[in-house]
Structure 1
Amino acid sequence: MTTGPAFSRASSEQGVTQQADGRRAISRTLPEEVPVALVYNGTSHAVMLATPDDIEDFAVGFSLSEGIVTHADEIESFEPVAHENGIEARMWLRAERADALHQRRRVMAGPTGCGLCGLDSLDQALRDLPVIGTTLTLSRAEVAGATEQLRRMQPLYDQTGAVHAAGFLVPGKGIVLAREDVGRHNALDKLIGALARGGLSPADGAFVLTSRVSLELVQKCAFAGSPCLIAVSAPTAHAKRLAESCGITLAAFARGSGFDLYAHPHRIRHEDSDVA
């Protein structure tokens, strides 16, 4: 049960636009971002700035991609509690997972552009990752058109022009699920959580992002078990090397007509017949 004030995902705000033909008053719809505290067994573990919807997806996805739990059912209960200044995502973990969490404390205030703020050590930034070895393949056309398809599934972006999205692309079906947030990391966590809650396996498709690819986004992809990451923009050099080492196909600059491949291109079929 949610208590306290309700938060909307966007609001209408007043401003002034300055154009070549002069200045005039305008009204714009802007996305909201609020502090969301991830609370485990009564202890606050992290505070992230996020769009205040799909909070349970976010909480489950964050828990999975951070290695706090290995399966969604290790979260015994969830309760969102809204306060004047933000939202608490309260979770109760199974005893063994709660004990493991004490071994790796990560207390951080997470601005939307940064994924590693507040880590206790450099070792935590470079965690051991599973190696992805699935046989999933995608056609050239599916990869090239992925970000344009995702763009059509962004109602909050249509309103505001100021949020990221993450989508799940299944071969032969297109993008079957998408989530939006002011933070690119948050959008992916929400997607991972939605997949887990819906009983869908990340191994059966590719993650599609409206952002550049940072090291932590590759980490989240690897922990989730998805073999392919498709993005509208570039990867960092470290993200490319990490994708190579953990078996993830990395496609960037996917913008309709084509894309660049930076790691494990064998999952992309290049036959001309896949283009309708």
Structure 2
Amino acid sequence: MFLRVRTTIFWELTISDKLTGSPHLQGCQKSRVPGTVATVVTTRESGVAEASLTSNADVVVEEAPVAVVYNGLTHAVMMLTPVELDHFALGFSLTEGIIDSVSDVFGIDQVTQENGLELKLEINSRQFNRLKQRRRMLKGVSGCGLCGKESLDLISPHRTRLAVSSMPRSEVIATSLKHFTDAQLMNQQCGSVHGCGFFDNSGALIHVSEDVGRHNALDKLIGYLIKHNINLNQGFVLASSRASFEMVQKCQLLGIATLVTVSAATSMAVALAQSSNMNLIGFARDERNVVYHQASM
């Protein structure tokens, strides 16, 4: 099914006239990657006199309020990095259970408002009626994936056991880590960005998404994978963050059987991986990693 994605005005943080006219910013705009914005910073060092402070061109990651609107109804306002917004819209809609497949979405429009951006989705009337029945208003922040839940019942997903999937070998994880680092362009330029990547079983990179929020980065990645009909059973997700409950939940809901993270896992993440028969690996490094749960036959 054809999915219309139209950008009315792409959101970009503006730079003040004072900064734009600064000699420190000459050429900075041309070199920055999408999702970053030029600025001026002052470098300070211990023991250095105030008169010795220096100002330099730098880039910071963009963060913007984005409202997700379904058939005219605002469902959520998220703080995220305004790149891959069509992928985010699809991934968020899927992991929130608002739609069941890409075919439920007829179109996505990106519209800039005075104080942020709107993602306007046209969805199937059946899914929209379902959304209205369980509607919750949520104001999301980059560090929380459960903000605004009206009931504890909404936290627990349908814990369908996933098909058994073999764990990626240590050397495969090492290969994927190198590709992962090289592909995170925003993080290389300004830091403060999470990345989520999908790799095939050999460690070859399929796609990496970046955002200020780890949940947003995963939603963007999922949206990309679904839009491009990537086989989710033939690979694994690698995330630069910890393995939180919400990260495992999003993978489990989409049938992704293996999640690898650079940091640790939480207790609820491990419990969900166990009940879903997911492979959950943390502290991913070139030569070692921690297996929190291995899928069983």
Q: TM-score w.r.t. structure 2 length?
A: 0.85
Of the three residues 119, 125, 128, the one matched with 1:98 is 128
State how far apart, in whole Å, the 1-side matches of 2:47 and 2:295 are.
50
Matched, 1:108 2:138: yes
Q: Which residue of 2 aligns with 1:59?
A: 89
Query: Is this contact kept in 2: 1:147–1:210, CA < 8 A?
Result: no
Tell me whether 230-239 or 118-127 shows the greater mean CA deviation.
118-127
Matched, 1:231 2:242: no
| 1:77-226 to 2 correspondences below 5 Å | 77-226=107-256
CA displacement, residues 60-81 of structure 1 (integer Å, 9 cap, x when unaligned): 0001111111111111111111
Tell me which stretches of 4 or more aligned residues in structure 1 moved more than 4 Å.
Answer: none
Query: Is this contact kept in 1: 2:173–2:203, CA < 8 A?
Result: no
Q: Which has the larger radius of gyration?
A: 2
State how far apart, in whole Å, the 2-side matches of 1:93 and 1:18 are.
51
Letter in 2 for 1:19: E
What is the Cα deviation at residue 143 of structure 1? 2.3
Letter in 2 for 1:78: I
What is the Cα deviation at residue 149 of structure 1? 2.5
CA displacement, residues 60-104 of structure 1 (integer Å, 9 cap, x when unaligned): 000111111111111111111112221111111112111111222
Q: Which residue of 2 aligns with 1:20?
A: 46
Query: Is this contact kept in 1: 2:167–2:294, CA < 8 A?
Result: no
| 1:67-78 to 2 correspondences below 5 Å | 67-78=97-108
After superposition, the Cα gap between the structure-2 partners of 1:207 and 1:163, relative to the gap in structure 1 and judged at 3 Å, is: same
CA displacement, residues 105-141 of structure 1 (integer Å, 9 cap, x when unaligned): 1311111011111111111112223221144442221
State how far apart, in whole Å, the 1-side matches of 2:197 and 2:165 are.
20
Query: Is this contact kept in 2: 1:144–1:259, CA < 8 A?
Result: no
State how far apart, in whole Å, the 1-side matches of 2:280 and 2:10 are.
41
Letter in 2 for 1:260: V
Query: Is this contact kept in 2: 1:65–1:189, CA < 8 A?
Result: yes
Query: Is this contact kept in 2: 1:2–1:82, CA < 8 A?
Result: no
Q: Which residue of 1 aligns with 2:24?
A: none
State how far apart, in whole Å, the 2-side matches of 1:10 and 1:183 are.
14
State how far apart, in whole Å, the 1-side matches of 2:279 and 2:174 are.
14
Of the three residues 3, 7, 25, the one matched with 2:8 is 3
Letter in 2 for 1:61: G
State how far apart, in whole Å, the 2-side matches of 1:203 and 1:66 are.
21
Query: Is this contact kept in 2: 1:134–1:203, CA < 8 A?
Result: no
What is the Cα deviation at residue 5 of structure 1? 5.9
User: The residue matched to 2:263 in structure 1 has which SS?
Assistant: coil
State how far apart, in whole Å, the 2-side matches of 1:112 and 1:6 are.
18
What is the Cα deviation at residue 6 of structure 1? 3.5
State how far apart, in whole Å, the 1-side matches of 2:95 and 2:292 are.
23
After superposition, the Cα gap between the structure-2 partners of 1:239 and 1:173, relative to the gap in structure 1 and judged at 3 Å, is: closer
Query: Is this contact kept in 2: 1:230–1:252, CA < 8 A?
Result: yes
User: The residue matched to 1:138 in structure 2 has which SS?
Assistant: coil
State how far apart, in whole Å, the 2-side matches of 1:147 and 1:236 are.
21
Query: Is this contact kept in 1: 2:164–2:295, CA < 8 A?
Result: no
After superposition, the Cα gap between the structure-2 partners of 1:254 and 1:7, relative to the gap in structure 1 and judged at 3 Å, is: same
State how far apart, in whole Å, the 1-side matches of 2:47 and 2:296 are.
53
Q: Which residue of 1 aligns with 2:31?
A: none
Q: How many aligned residue pairs are there?
A: 267
After superposition, the Cα gap between the structure-2 partners of 1:5 and 1:83, relative to the gap in structure 1 and judged at 3 Å, is: farther
Letter in 2 for 1:63: S
CA displacement, residues 143-184 of structure 1 (integer Å, 9 cap, x when unaligned): 244333211111111111110110001012522111111110
What is the Cα deviation at residue 205 of structure 1? 1.1
CA displacement, residues 228-263 of structure 1 (integer Å, 9 cap, x when unaligned): 000000011111111111111000000111100001
What is the Cα deviation at residue 7 of structure 1? 1.5
CA displacement, residues 182-240 of structure 1 (integer Å, 9 cap, x when unaligned): 11000000000000110112222111100011111111010111000000000111111
What is the Cα deviation at residue 26 of structure 1? 2.7
User: The residue matched to 2:288 in structure 1 has which SS?
Assistant: coil
State how far apart, in whole Å, the 2-side matches of 1:106 and 1:61 are.
18
State how far apart, in whole Å, the 2-side matches of 1:240 and 1:146 are.
22
Share of identical aligned residues, percent?
A: 35
